[in-house]
Amino acid sequence: MERVGFIGLGRMGRPMASNLQRKGFQLSVLDISPAPVAELVALGATAAKDLADLVANSDIIVTMLPTSVEVLGTITGAGGALDHARAGQLVLDMSTIEPEATLKMAKAAADKGVAVVDAPVGRLATHADRGESLFMVGAAEEDLERVRPLLDAMGTTVLHCGPVGTGVAMKLVNNYICVVSCQMNAEALALSQRFGLDLDKTLAVLNGTTAYNGQLQLNWVNKTLAGDTSAGFTIDLAHKDLSLALAAANAARVPLPVGAAAREAFSIARTGAYAGSDFSAMVDVLCDLAGIPKARISKAKE
C-alpha cells in the first residue's frame, strides 16, 4: 500500500484524512492548525515535521486547500513540494481552484517526473464524515487507477471526467448550480416569510413540485432552517467558487448573467458577520435586510 501525505485538514480534509487512516493507509499529515493534526495523530497518523518531511515519507501527496494561492504555493512555490519531490510521486489535489492553476501545476510536476490528478469533491461535509463523497476526476487513466483506492476509501462515487483539469472544471459547473440555487432558495424562503406562510407547508410544496432541488431538501433542513448556521460550506467559499466559475466563463466567452447577480448578493453577505456561516444562511442575510423573522422549521422553534 502506498504511503500518503495529506495537506489541509479543514472541514472537508479532516474527515477525508480520517477515513484514509481508519482504512489502513500509512498516513502523514500537515496543517497550519495543530488541533486537527492532533486529532489525526490520535487515530494513528504521523504528524509531519514540515513539508519536506511529508514529501520524503509519501508516495502520494494529497492536498485539500482553500484557493489556488495555497495550492500553488504548497506544490510549485519556493520550498514547495516539488522542490523536495522525486520522480514517480503523484499529487492528488482535491481543492476547488482555477483550471488554469491545475494545468500550471501539472506542467511543473511533469518536469519533475511527478503526476497530477485533480479530484475535487462533490456532496456535503456530512457526506465526507461518513466516507460518502463524490469525486470529479481529471487524470490519465493509469494515474486514476493509482489513486482509486484512496478515493474509494473516502467516497462512494468516482467519475472520470477526462484528462487533468477536467475534474476541477466539472466542479465549477456543479458549484455554479449549487451556489446560484442557494441564492434562489434564500430569496424564495424570505418571500414566504414576508407573506406569513407556514414554512413547513412551503417546503412540502416546493419539495413536491418541479421547484425541488437537492440543496433545499438535503442541506437546508439540516442546517440554517434547523437553526444551525455552523459552516459546512461557508458563504465566503461559495463566493470564491462562484467567482471562479464566472472568471472561467468570461475567459471562454460564455455569459452567466444569473450567476453574476448571485455573486453580488454573496459579495454583500461576506462583508459582515455571515462570511463564515454556512452558505444556506443566505436566507438569514435576506431576512435581516428585510426586517422579517428568520426562516426556521417548526422543530427548530420548539
pTM: 0.91
Q: Which pLDDT score, from 0 to 100, does residue 300 have?
A: 54
Q: What structural domains does the chain harbor? A: 4-164 (3.40.50.720), 169-301 (1.10.1040.10)
- Tens digit of each residue's pLDDT (9 = 90 or more) over 42-100: 999 999 999 999 999 999 999 999 999 999 999 999 999 999 999 999 999 999 999 99
Instruction: Give the position of cell 420548539.
Output: 302
Give CA 45 to chain center in angstroms.
23
Dmax (CA) for the chain in angstroms is 64
The mean of the pLDDT values for the chain is 95
- Tens digit of each residue's pLDDT (9 = 90 or more) over 173-217: 999 999 999 999 999 999 999 999 999 999 999 999 999 998 888
Q: Which pLDDT score, from 0 to 100, does residue 302 have?
A: 42
b/e per residue 45-62 (b: at least 16 CB within 10 A): bbebeebebbbbbbebbb
Catalytic residue among 23, 171, 240, 294: 171
CA 15 – CA 115 distance, rounded (Å): 25
CA 276 – CA 247 distance, rounded (Å): 23
CA 149 – CA 60 distance, rounded (Å): 12
Under the banding of pLDDT at 50, 70 and 90, the label for residue 218 is confident
Active site residue 171: yes
Q: What percent of the chain has pLDDT over 70?
A: 99
- Tens digit of each residue's pLDDT (9 = 90 or more) over 225-265: 999 999 888 999 999 999 999 999 999 999 999 999 999 99
